[in-house]
Amino acid sequence: MPVSPPHAKPLPLTALRAFEAAARMGGFAAAAQELAVSPGAVSAHVKTLEDTLRTPLFVRSAKGVELTALGARVLPEFTAAFDQLGQAVQLLHREATPQVVHIAALPAVAQLWLSPRLPALRAASPDIEISITAMETPPNLKRAPYDLCLFYDSDLGEPVDSDEIFPVCSPAVAARLHSFADLQNVPCLTDSTWSSDWASWLQAACPDAGITPRGPMFSLYALAIEETVNGAGVLIGHAALIQRQLNSGVLVAPFETALRLPRSLRLWSPRRHRPGSPAQQVANWLLSAATETAA
């Protein structure tokens, strides 16, 4: 009577996912951020996997973790497998909820560019539900269930709007600015996402002025704009995001020099959408509305 070999013990999917993320991202902390769990949870899942296999997949040290030879060998297979699983999950979501379009966007873009256009978009496509997730960096589109991405980039997808920057402030603050040198006498607000804005604009506008901008740092560009409107100082404005404030007059540009950056606001998708699909309808509308000023 033939004897079948013993079945291999099933490996927990969560542990396999934790291993793949940690191996691909180069550490437990980065993997935890991607998986939206704690680094301790990632470490525990990996340890469970290693205990089940009775072999290490990482070498741990005070400086971090490194893949063992076995871990390095199997990583490409697991990455391809989880990419394929992620795409299958996205397909399932799309087929289950065909009239929902999920958009990932930079927080400032979601709040200041996309949000003012949503009423017109809903009116144009009343049968389509728009879901928006704000995040600082574009998602891994092989894993994340998003139909469209809206971020500043230099080459991905289709350009929606240019990225032109220049100082803006309230009219009262502008009255105190008669030359570039006067920037030394007012707070210069900075957004953490675009921390190099001031240096880039000053290099273009007055490279020999020796101006060192000083002022508070904000992690939300919308809050920085609100503070600028309230007279807190001068902020580097991104034209596509502050057009409403400029049109209403609550913000003005005290200097004529504007700098167009090589990147632009761009719209892209992880996959080709069929013509007439909800995602393609939304993409077409956003691209056609790009040149229009939000109400």
| Torsion sign over Cα 212, 217, 219, 220 | negative
Instruction: State the pLDDT at residue 5.
Output: 62
* 258 inside domain: yes
Does residue 2 lie in a domain region? no
Within a domain: 194: yes
Note whether 184 and 232 are same-domain residues.
yes
**Does any domain span residue 240?**
yes
Tell which of 93, 127, 147 closes a domain: 93
Residue 94 has a pLDDT of 66
Q: What local confidence, expressed as pLDDT, does residue 295 receive?
A: 41
Domain assignment present for residue 5? The answer is: no
Residues 177, 232 share a domain: yes
Whether 295 is covered by a domain: the verdict is no
Indicate which CATH number applies to the domain containing 23: 1.10.10.10
Residues 17 and 60 placed together within one structural domain of the fold: yes
- Answer yes or no: do 72 and 106 share one domain: no
Residue 186 lies inside a defined structural domain of this protein: yes
Domain boundary pick from 93, 127, 145: 93
Rounded CA-CA distance 193/178 in Å is 29
pLDDT of residue 99: 82
Query: How far, in Å, CA of 30 to CA of 64, rounded?
Result: 11
Q: What is the DSSP string of the chain?
A: ---PPPPPPPPPHHHHHHHHHHHHHTSHHHHHHHHTS-HHHHHHHHHHHHHHHTS-SEEEETTEEEE-HHHHHHHHHHHHHHHHHHHHHHHHHHHHSTTEEEEEE-HHHIIIIIGGGHHHHHHH-TT-EEEEEE-SS---TTTS--SEEEEEESSSSEEEEEEEEEEEB-HHHHTT-SSGGGGGGS-EEEEGGGTTHHHHHHHHH-TTS-------EES-HHHHHHHHHTTS-EEEEEHHHHHHHHHHTSSB-SSS--EEEEEEEEEE-SSPPPTT-HHHHHHHHHHHTTTSPP-
Which of 70, 93, 116 is the last residue before a domain boundary? Answer: 93
My answer on whether 136 and 272 are in the same domain is yes
148 with 271, same domain? yes
Q: Is there a single domain that holds both residue 125 and residue 143?
A: yes
- The answer to whether residues 122 and 166 belong to one domain is no
Report yes or no on 8 lying in a domain: no
Quote the domain boundaries for residue 31. 13-93
Answer yes or no: do 204 and 141 share one domain: no
If asked whether residues 206 and 272 sit together in one domain, one would say: no
What CATH number corresponds to the domain at position 136?
3.40.190.10
Mean pLDDT (10-residue bins), the chain, 295 residues: 66 93 94 92 95 94 93 94 84 72 95 94 92 90 83 92 97 96 96 95 91 94 98 97 96 96 92 79 89 49
Structural domains of the chain, count: 3
